[in-house]
Amino acid sequence: MNRITLSSPRANLAIAALSSFLTILATVALQGCGGETPVFDQSLQHTPETLVQEFLVRYKNLPENRKALKASRSAKSATAKGEQPDVDEAGKSSRKEAAVKGQMVKESETLENVVATLEDRLGTVQGVPRAEAAKKAVELIENQSDLKAEDKQAVIERLKKLD
């Protein structure tokens, strides 16, 4: 079998140069595909109001504040799962690991952690000094009726220390 050459080395070089040129041209022409610089939506920025709203949501989801109805449902499902035989002889079944991990998550979510997160984020509000953001957060938290009185007082005292 003879090998047939379809083009000369000079033609191969011309084809390679042309394909490289077209690749570079396409890359330059399509770069950015919009020409406009992206604009950050200012409504998505953190404000003391949004941070307090987030704090309240996290506070309501703390394990000690969960409603009894949810606790009774989880207790029923735990007893149903506990009745199933453990397939793993060593006691390392996925059910037990999941239960331990779930317990660890509940233990890690404390009022202390939620308040610490609020304190950290109040320092990141753009255009507002941390002390002013903390004062605004204190005003908003004082008006909330969802918080327990002792928790509200503890949070307010910690935020006043940020001044």
The pLDDT value given to residue 81: 52
Residue 155, judged by CB atoms within 10 A of its CB (0-12, 13-18, 19+), counts as buried
How much is the average pLDDT of 41-53?
84
Residue 25 binned pLDDT confidence (cut-offs 50, 70, 90): confident
Residue 142 contacts residue 56 (beta carbons within 8 Å): no
Domain boundaries, the chain: 45-76+96-160
pLDDT in tens, 83-136: 555 555 555 566 667 666 665 555 567 888 888 899 999 988 888 899 999 999
Token pair for residue 116?
């610490």
Summary mean pLDDT of the chain: 76
| Number of CB atoms found within 10 A of residue 58's CB | 16
Q: Which residue has the higher pLDDT, 138 or 97?
A: 138
